[in-house]
Structures are given as C-alpha cells and as structure tokens.
Structure 1
Amino acid sequence: MSLLLAASLLLKALAIPLLARVAWVDFSTQKITNRDVLLLLCLGLGSLQLLSVQAGSWWDMGLSAIAALTLFIVLFPLWAMRKVGAGDVKLMAVTPFLIGGSNLAVFSLLLLGFAGVIVILVRNPFLLPAGLFRQYVQHLDRKGVVPFGVPISAAAICTIAFQIYVSLMVATSSGILQQLN
C-alpha cells in the first residue's frame, strides 16, 4: 500500500468519529455546526487530493465538486422554504468530498435506506422500546422536525467504511499476489 493511499484512508477514518458526533448533536439539538462541516470538508478535500495525486487524475475530485455544487443548488431552495435545515444543506454539499465522486451511488442508496428508517421511526414512535425516547420522537414529530443529519452521517460512515474495507482488501490481495510471484 502506498503512503498516499494510507494517508488518504487515515483522513477518511478520522472523518468517521466526526460524522458520528454530527449525527448525535443533530439528533439531540437539531443543529449542525459550521465548524464540524468545515472540518469534514478539509478531511474530504485532503483525502481526495492525496488520491488524485496517487492516481494522476483529477476526475474524482472534479466529479465530487460538481456533485457538491449540484446538491447545494438543489437543496438551497428547500432551505429557503424551511423544509430542510441549513446545516443539512451544508452537510449534504460537503459529503461528496468525503466519499468521492465514484461512490455517490453507494452513498445515495444508503441515504435512502437510513432516511426511510428515520421517517418511519418519527411517524411511528410506538415501534421504539423506551417510553422517554418515544416521547422525544413524538415531540420531534409535533414540531415537524426530522434530524436529517443522522441519516446523512450514517450513510457517509457506512460508505467510508466500505471504501476503507475495499482499499485494504485490494492492497493486501495485490501484496499477496506479488509475494507469490
């Protein structure tokens, strides 16, 4: 495994606890701080930069930038209509830099699944075991607020974990094959 790939994977791994923190804070306070979004942006850009230098191609970074700009443009009017929070819009715009343009399909499918679970739990709090948790979710439902940062973060964490797993499997399998030859 090259040093650039290892550094890129380290930056991606550092994003996982930050995404978990974003999910928890959004769930408990319905806020996503600009500091967290900027840290995620820096980690994502750094990781993409290292991968682009290693590959000798800027395609993935360009695709991520186009996806980020598209998401921001599409979600901004929803923020203006008060349908989505500003933190959710910024987090969604930063996510393509974290996961890379080539993994947007995986992220989208995971996001769809996690968002569906969140909506089902908010709309049907009787599915939850704890009474206090049930009351909290009912409060969220009455306010009309869904912490969308939770499914965004969960989908990004799963996508990053998948990327790290695949990268390590490819690196170790190619190393084993080279040793056998």
Structure 2
Amino acid sequence: MSLLLAASLLLKALAIPLLVRVAWLDFTVQRISNRDVLLLLCLGLGSLQLSSVAVGSWWDMGLSALAGLVLFVGLFPFWTLRKVGAGDVKLMAVTPLLVGGSGLVVFSLLLLVFALVTALLVKSPFLLPAGAFRIYVQHLDRKGVVPFGVPISAAAICTVAFEIAYSLNALILSR
C-alpha cells in the first residue's frame, strides 16, 4: 500500500468520530451544523484526491461528485416542501464524496436498511425497551420529525469501516 492510499484511509478514519457527532446531535437536537458538513466535505475530498493520485484515475472522484450533485438536486425540492431538513440534504450531498464512488452501492444498501429501522422505531416506539427512550421517540413522532442524519451517518460509518477493513485485509494478504 502506498503512502497516499494510507493517508486517504486515515482521512476516512478521521471522519468516523465526526459522523458519530453528527448522528448524536441530529438525534438529540435535530440539527446538523454546516461546520460538521464542511469538515466531512474536506475529509472526503482530501481522501478522494489522495486515492485518485495514487491510483492514477479520477473516475472515482468524478462519480462521487456526480452522485453528490444528483442527491443535492434530487433532495432540494423535499427541503423546500419541508419534508427533509436542510442539514440532511447537505449531509446526503457530501456523503458520496466521503465514501467514494466504489462505496456508493454499499452505502445505498446500508442507508436503506438503517432508514427503514429508524422509521420503524419512530412509528412503533413500543418495540423499544427503555421507557424514557420510548417517550422521546413518541415526542419525535408527534412533532413529525425523523432524525434522518442518524441513518445517513450510520450507513457512512459502516461503509467507511468496510473500506478500511477491506484495504487492510488486501495489504495483509499481499505480503
């Protein structure tokens, strides 16, 4: 593994605690700050830049940028209709740059699973064990708010962790 690919993986690993922060803040106060989204954007762009230089192909970066643009344009009308929060739209637009073009399929499948679980828990809080947590989720349901940043972050964390594990496994097997 080249030094550039190692630095790329390090930038992706640094995004994991930030994604945990985004998920926690979206769950507790239903806010995703622009600062966190911009930091994720910088980490994602840096990681893609390093891996593109190391591999010698800009395909992954172009695919990620196109996916981010499509997601932003596709979700923007839902924000104007107040169906999705602005932070969720921005986070979804930045996430393809973080996971890379090669991780988009894994991210999409994980996002589908985590979004379904989140919707199920918000709509059926009786499935949850703790009374206080159940009351909180019922409060979210009454307000009509679903913290969509939580499944986005969870899917991104799992995708990034999978990419790091796959790269490290390839390194170990190549020796």
The TM tier, using the shorter chain, reads over 0.9
Q: What is the number of equivalent residue pairs in this alignment?
A: 175
Q: 1:102, CA displacement in angstroms?
A: 1.3
Counterparts of 1:136 and 1:169, CA distance in 2: 41
TM-score (norm 2): 0.99
Cα RMSD (Å) of the superposition? 0.5
- TM alignment of 1:4-15, pairs within 5 A: 4-15=4-15
Is the partner of 1:129 in helix, strand or coil? coil
TM-score (norm 1): 0.96
Is the partner of 1:57 in helix, strand or coil? coil
Counterparts of 1:119 and 1:21, CA distance in 2: 21
Does residue 59 (structure 1) correspond to residue 59 (structure 2)? The answer is yes
Counterparts of 2:105 and 2:57, CA distance in 1: 20
Find the structure with the greater CA-based Rg.
1
Q: Which residue of 2 aligns with 1:78?
A: 78
Counterparts of 1:2 and 1:61, CA distance in 2: 18
- TM alignment of 1:10-25, pairs within 5 A: 10-25=10-25
Is the partner of 1:26 in helix, strand or coil? helix
Q: Which residue of 2 aligns with 1:112?
A: 112
Is the partner of 1:84 in helix, strand or coil? coil
- TM alignment of 1:120-139, pairs within 5 A: 120-139=120-139
CA deviation map 1:25-50 (0-9, x unaligned) = 00000000000000000000000000
Flag as ranges the 4+ runs of structure 1 deviating above 6 A.
none
Counterparts of 2:82 and 2:143, CA distance in 1: 13
